[in-house]
Amino acid sequence: MSSNLASKLRVGTKKAHTMAENVGFVKCFLKGVVEKSSYRKLVGNFYFIYSAMEEEMEKHQNHPIVSKINFPQLNRKQTLEEDLSYYYGFNWREQVKLSPAGEAYVQRIREISATEPELLIAHSYTRYLGDLSGGQILKGIAQTAMNLTDGGTAFYEFAEITDEKEFKAKYRQALDELPIDEATADRIVDEANAAFGMNMKMFQELEGNLIKAIGIMLYNTLTRKRTRGSTELATAE
């Protein structure tokens, strides 16, 4: 018997997906407006979120429902560690902090793991299927926008997955074959919508940061030009 959870999730989160794509920070990212100080904060939040998600999924490795969606080849914790070491240096652990929205996200993951672990599936779906879908495009954008030539994009690389499309089909089939009733499927869709909301809150937090950073960059460019103009006029630059 199929729960049709894969298409329930796709249809049930369509609106949330459109809303997430339209958050300023995400729109800017897609247009190649990304700067390192905002981006690395997001990577820092992701580190705590994926660590919590992967730890809690592991705790339920014998759970009749959660175990069916535990694919260790998706795990991102290690790739996020690599990226954080790239952006912050060797002592990144002393510098990286959770933002308030990131904190609420982590707390929610811990809470459902203790009370309704089957809802962890919603969190796995929202993040990993999204990563597998847009990952390659976002990786290219990040590399170009931040001039990355020697690292910083490990998060987008799934070393153990050779065909992402094929893997997504396998994941969706596993969702459909979960031994769940209609009410549980509905609760998982509700939680996936909540997970989209938590992602949006994190992006919104970064919006202010990005605007401030762009403002500073613009100010520096303008003032540098003016200073240069005044001292190098004689060389007719």
Q: Is the Cβ of residue 85 or residue 135 nearer to ligand HEM in the bound state?
A: 135
Q: Is the Cβ of residue 137 or residue 218 nearer to ligand HEM in the bound state?
A: 137
Closest CA to 52 of 125, 110, 118, 131: 110
Closest CA to 7 of 129, 120, 89, 135: 129
Which residue's beta carbon is nearest to the bound ligand HEM?
A: 130
Q: Is the Cβ of residue 84 or residue 132 nearer to ligand HEM in the bound state?
A: 132
Residue-wise burial string across 5-16, b where 16 or more C-beta atoms lie within 10 A, e elsewhere: bbebbbebbeeb
Return residues touching ligand HEM (CB under 6 A). Answer: 9-10, 17, 20-21, 26, 30, 125-126, 129-130, 133-134, 168, 196, 199
Joined together, the tokens standing for residue 54 give: 């992967």
Q: Is the Cβ of residue 3 or residue 199 nearer to ligand HEM in the bound state?
A: 199
**Residues ≥6 apart with Cβ < 8 Å to 217:** 35
Can you tell me whether residue 147 is helix, strand or coil? Answer: coil
CA–CA dist 154, 133 (Å, integer): 16
Question: What's the closest the beta carbon of residue 152 comes to ligand HEM, in angstroms?
Answer: 17
Q: Is the Cβ of residue 39 or residue 125 nearer to ligand HEM in the bound state?
A: 125
DSSP category for residue 149: S
Question: What's the closest the beta carbon of residue 203 comes to ligand HEM, in angstroms?
Answer: 7
Question: What's the closest the beta carbon of residue 36 comes to ligand HEM, in angstroms?
Answer: 18
Question: What's the closest the beta carbon of residue 236 comes to ligand HEM, in angstroms?
Answer: 45
Question: What's the closest the beta carbon of residue 174 comes to ligand HEM, in angstroms?
Answer: 13
